[in-house]
Every structure is written in C-alpha cells, then in structure tokens.
C-alpha cells in the first residue's frame, strides 16, 4: 500500500477508535468528523466502509476492508492535499490526547511509512496496553520525537 494511503487508513482507524471513547477530547472528535467529511466528498462510496469500521475499529477484518477500498479509491482518483492534511491533523490530535492515543493503540494503529517533504514532529506517544511501533520514517529535514512510553506507566504515589 502506498505510504500516504496507509497514513489515511491509520488516521481513520485512530479517529474511529477514539470517537467511541467518552473521555476523548472534543477537538479529536471534531477533527475526525472533518476527515470523514472530506473523504465522503471525494469518495462517497467509502461512507459505508467507514460506518462499518466504526462498529468495531479494532477488527482487523473491518480495517482490511477499509484499506482495500481506500487503496482502490486513491489509485483511481488520486489523493488530494486537503484529505491528506485532514488525516495528518487528526493523527496529531489523537497523539495529543491520552484517551484517544490509548484507543488508537488498542485498535492497532502504528506510525508507519511516513514521508514528509519537510519535517516530522511526533510530540507525545503513550501506549499503555502494548508496544509503540514506528517504522520507515523519512523526512527531507528534521525528525523530532518527543516523549514515548510503552507498557504500563509507573504509578504515582
């Protein structure tokens, strides 16, 4: 799968998983709704695939169905800058909200095949239930990674 399509799929899965959590910040929910809106405008036929995924964002079968549909849509129609920016904004919002980041991790979202014409800046990642997986990052300029915690964080006394 093309790296930008993978980024888009990860954003939709992360947003769908986060939107189900009551503790998710409103900015994450609004950013997810914005991305869904762009996708529905560009690829109306993907609406049902996103709704199907929202029923169980952690389902590998549902994720695979969305990946296949999105890959075909992107191959046929291309991926525009507006959709890509919305996906990047959603991933940033998820990363900055503890409840959203945990939901995305539970759904199996990883940072993978990310390429940038400028810099990549990953602020804070907390994976309470599993590993943090980052693969194949490429940037023309800087790659900055802030705090990453994996596993159960130490309890504060």
Note the pLDDT tens digit of each residue in 125-138: 555 444 556 666 67
Residue 97 has pLDDT above 70, yes or no: yes
In a domain, 70, yes or no: yes
Work out the average pLDDT over 100-118: 68
In a domain, 150, yes or no: no
What was the pLDDT predicted at 94?
86
Helices 60-77 and 47-54, axial angle in degrees (round to 10)? 160
Q: How many domains does the chain have?
A: 1
In a domain, 31, yes or no: yes
Read off the pLDDT band of 148 (50, 70, 90).
low
In a domain, 24, yes or no: yes
Work out the average pLDDT over 149-155: 55
Read off the pLDDT band of 122 (50, 70, 90).
low
Note the pLDDT tens digit of each residue in 65-76: 999 999 999 999
In a domain, 120, yes or no: no
Share of the chain above pLDDT 70, in %: 72
Give 146-150 contacts, CB < 8 A, sequence gap 24+: 146/122, 147/123, 148/122, 148/124, 149/125
Note the pLDDT tens digit of each residue in 32-77: 999 999 999 999 989 899 999 999 998 889 999 999 999 999 999 9
Structural domain that includes position 60: 3-110
Residue 10 has pLDDT above 90, yes or no: no
Q: What is the pTM of this model?
A: 0.69
In a domain, 86, yes or no: yes
Instruction: Mark out the alpha helices in 3-137 (DSSP H runs).
Output: 3-19, 26-42, 47-54, 60-77, 81-95, 98-106
Work out the average pLDDT over 99-121: 68
User: What is the rounded distance in angstroms from the CA atom of residue 12 to the CA atom of residue 71?
Assistant: 13
- What three-state secondary structure class fits 78? coil
- In the numeric block, the tokens 């405008």 are attached to 41
């Amino acid at each position: 799968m093309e790296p930008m399509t993978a980024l888009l799929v990860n954003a939709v899965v992360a947003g769908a998983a986060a939107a189900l959590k009551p503790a998710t910040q409103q900015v994450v929910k609004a950013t997810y709704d914005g991305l869904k809106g762009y996708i529905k405008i560009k690829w109306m036929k993907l609406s049902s695939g996103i709704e199907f995924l929202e029923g169980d964002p952690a389902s590998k079968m549902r994720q695979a169905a969305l990946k296949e549909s999105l890959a075909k849509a992107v191959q046929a129609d291309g991926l525009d800058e507006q959709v890509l920016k919305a996906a990047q904004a959603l991933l940033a919002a998820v990363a900055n909200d503890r409840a959203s980041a945990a939901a995305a991790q539970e759904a199996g979202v990883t940072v993978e095949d990310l390429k940038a014409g400028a810099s990549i800046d990953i602020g804070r990642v907390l994976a309470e239930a599993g590993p943090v997986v980052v693969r194949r990052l490429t940037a023309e300029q800087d790659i900055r990674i802030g705090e990453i915690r994996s596993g159960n964080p130490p309890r504060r006394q």
